[in-house]
Amino acid sequence: MGRVFKTSDLLGQLTEYEAKNAPDELHLAGDPSLLTEGQRVAIVGSRKASPEGLARARSFAKALVEHGITVVSGLAEGIDAVAHETAIGMGGKTIAVLGTPLSKAYPAQHQDLLDTIKRDHLAVSQFPEGHPSRRENFPRRNRTMALISDATVVVEAGEKSGSRHQGWEAIRLGRLVYIMQNVAENDELSWPREMIDYGAQVLRREDLPDVIYDIPSFTVGSPSVF
């Protein structure tokens, strides 16, 4: 079904803050080298995404693949699924970080997508088989996704979106966070302005692909922001 690794064995020595919220173990199905070789960028956003949001996710995932960067997301509906599917369709690599055990896709209609990722890419879960499905699993999943990614891109997210959790965690870990311009300039949202005050950057379409060259490789043990 999968292999179990100590997180420190996979990622090396963690900082005090990284270790505080990191799972002790990670369950992997697929190619573990995707966690240690090359760069990884998480694309996250709304489950009920707009057509424009889906198009933006598709464009950014395509740009990442063209630069040899692994696309990371959470297998959810909407933005996540488009990110994974675009990476696969472009012949790139993708990592799915799950809020469920490795054997269970959430939502269930993504089982075929999960099976493809486990076979040809990499699926990661901090939840052992039999672990119950709980709402709290998904913020924990987002913390782990932020940990393994060099940067996080928030494509589209509402005021209560779970994507906020990952953005804040990535900032605390000292990772880059990009917020799409349409989200950053949405007057109905308060969290983008707060996140920008703490270092998140606004990502405009015209910034591609130049912004990709600014993403540093993830360094385990680097100082966190808080």
Residue with tokens 């940067």: 151
Token output for 79: 């933005």
Residue 49: name the closest of 144, 156, 131, 121 by CA: 156
Judge whether residue 220 has pLDDT over 70: no
Maximum CA extent, the chain: 46
What average pLDDT does the segment 174-187 reach?
A: 92
Q: What is the DSSP string of 50-106?
A: -HHHHHHHHHHHHHHHHTTPEEEE---TTHHHHHHHHHHHTT--EEEEESS-TT--S
Judge whether residue 209 has pLDDT over 80: no
pTM: 0.92
Q: Which of 4-18, 35-49, 78-92, 142-156 has the lowest mean pLDDT?
A: 4-18
> For 76-117, how does the pLDDT look when each residue is reduced to its tens digit (9 = 90+)?
999 999 999 999 999 999 999 999 999 999 999 999 999 999
Which residue segments constitute the domains of the chain, with CATH numbers given? 3-11+19-214 (3.40.50.450)
Judge whether residue 75 has pLDDT over 60: yes
Residue 82: name the closest of 8, 140, 153, 17 by CA: 153
Token output for 179: 């917020």
* pLDDT for the residue numbered 221: 42
* pLDDT for the residue numbered 219: 42
